[in-house]
Amino acid sequence: MARLKFEGIEIEATEDVDVLSALLQAGANVAFSCRIGVCQSCMLRSVKGDVPKEAQTGLRDSQISENFFLACQCVPSNDIEIERPYTTQHFLEGIVSSVDDMADGMRRLRIDAELAYRAGQYVTLWVDGQTGHRCSLASLPEANSPLEFHVKPVAGDRFSDWVTRDVNIGDTVRLQGPVGATFYVPGHTQQPIILAGTGSGLPAIYGILRDALQNAHQGDIHFLAEAQDEKDLYLRSLLSELDDGQNRFKFHHIVRPDLAEGPGIYQGAMADFIEDEFGTLAGWRSFICGDPPAVERIKKEIFLAGASLNEIHSDPYYQIGNPPGHIPSMSDSAS
């Protein structure tokens, strides 16, 4: 007999009963529709305990690697602890360990925290009760290595003011998350990869690139950074440092004609660049991070260039943060 834990309730699931039925019977509020494993409305996540493979049919590699499953197809043979997917109610404390200037007016913030995450995911950083900012992780989850964030200062923004002026080493911040399903999953090592990012998504794309390189990905990797202003060119030096001379990846900056010129810089639209450089993207895996309207546009461009929807990894616009008036405190900690 399997025991199920979900949002404060504990159930003994009788044999042959699926998780969805068991949860509903116990009065849990879980979304569902088809109950035959197609619509994915009842997708949940196991944070402890294995789920049967049949319960993951049709899910993406990234979801499978995070133990997502379809509750209606899941008849567990062991105990599992269940959460809703993409939950944002995990809070953690971190300590600012360094802050410095990067190229092109960007700021780099490093934070020590025991966060389990994947390169490319994001967290909301709360620097006081009211000021939270969604930041993607540029670091790799290695032991004893700080979390790294790249922040573009914006005039009149409270988080920007904090990161450019008010922050001190040793400050305590609160992290909410991590969230996001856009990350590298090892496997298919010969498959060509496109990493496309704009604005706030560039650090995430940089993290995913490092992850793919660390996993010895063999296929071509192209890094496409769409720059809206000079600050968005800041990764040039970091990318050059990553380049070990073995041509393991290529990077391209896509810019408006008046912004910049030089090697690796393409003046024009992302869609035109894709067509000129690659022709078709059939068979490619792609990762897209950044500002939602740009992400939707680039997703469409990559799809129309021939990529399969299953191979396009990009976060739907999950709302992260707290309802107005709610100030996160340690008592919110869910784990």
Partner 1 sequence: MASLYERLGGSQSVDKAVDIFYRKVIMDDRVSSFFDGIDMLEQAQKQKAFLTVVMGGPNVYTGKDMREGHKHLVARGLNDSHVDAIIELLSATLTELGVGEAEVKEVADLANSVRSDVLNR
Q: How many CB atoms lie within 10 A of CB 116?
A: 10
Return the residue of 34, 116, 327, 334 that touches partner 1, per CB under 8 A.
34
| Region 57-76 residues binding partner 1, contact defined as CB under 8 A | 57-58
Residue numbers 295-334 binding partner 1 by CB under 8 A: 296, 299-300, 303-304, 308-310, 312, 314, 316-317
Of 56 and 139, the one with the shorter C-beta distance to partner 1 is 56
Q: Identify which of residues 73 and 176 has a Cβ nearer to partner 1 in the complex.
A: 73
CA-to-CA separations, 252 to 164, 248, 255, 271, in angstroms, rounded: 28, 14, 9, 13
Nearer to partner 1, 129 or 316 (CB): 316
Taking the C-alpha atoms of residue 43 and residue 63, their distance in angstroms, rounded to an integer, is 10
Tokens encoding 50 = 């294995």
Output the smallest distance, CB 72 to partner 1, in A: 11
Count of residues touching partner 1 (by CB under 8 A): 20
| Shortest CB 114 distance to partner 1, Å | 31
40 lies in the site for partner 1, by CB under 8 A? yes
Q: In this complex, which beta carbon is closest to partner 1, that of residue 237 or of residue 310?
A: 310
- Number of other CB atoms surrounding residue 265 within 10 Å: 16
Mask 263-302, x = binds partner 1 (CB under 8 A)?
---------------------------------x--xx--
Please measure the distance between the N-terminal and C-terminal CA atoms of the chain and give it in whole angstroms: 25
At which residue do the structure tokens 């509020």 appear?
29
Q: Is 17 in the site for partner 1 (CB under 8 A)?
A: no
Cα–Cα distance between 134 and 155 in angstroms, integer?
A: 17
What is the layout of strands, in order, in the sheet containing 147-151?
Answer: 132-136, 122-126, 172-179, 91-101, 107-112, 147-151
| Binding piece for partner 1, criterion CB under 8 A, among 29-37, 104-112, 163-171, 225-233 | 29-37
Instruction: Compute the least distance from the CB of residue 328 to partner 1, in Å.
Output: 27
Q: Crossing angle, helix 270-278 and helix 292-304, to 10 degrees? A: 30
Pairwise CA distance, residues 4 & 51, whole Å: 11
Minimum Å gap between C-beta 303 and partner 1 is 7
Q: Residue 36 or residue 330: which is nearer to partner 1 going by CB?
A: 36
The string over 73-90, giving b where at least 16 C-beta atoms fall within 10 Å of a residue's C-beta and e elsewhere, is bbbbeebbebbebbebeb
In the complex, the smallest distance separating the C-beta of residue 316 from partner 1, rounded to whole angstroms, is: 5
Distance CA 69, CA 42 (A): 8
Choose one: 35-43, 118-126, 232-240, 257-265; the region binding partner 1 (CB under 8 A): 35-43
Question: What's the min distance (Å) between Cβ of 73 and partner 1?
Answer: 12
Give the separation between CA 113 and CA 93, rounded to whole angstroms: 7
> Residue 212 Cβ, how far from partner 1 at the closest point, in Å?
20
123, two tokens: 């967290």
Instruction: CB nearer to partner 1: give 39 or 140.
Output: 39
Say how far apart CA 171 and CA 167 lie, in whole Å: 7
Minimum CB separation of residue 285 from partner 1 in Å reads: 14
Binding site for partner 1 (CB under 8 A): 33-34, 36, 38-40, 57-58, 296, 299-300, 303-304, 308-310, 312, 314, 316-317
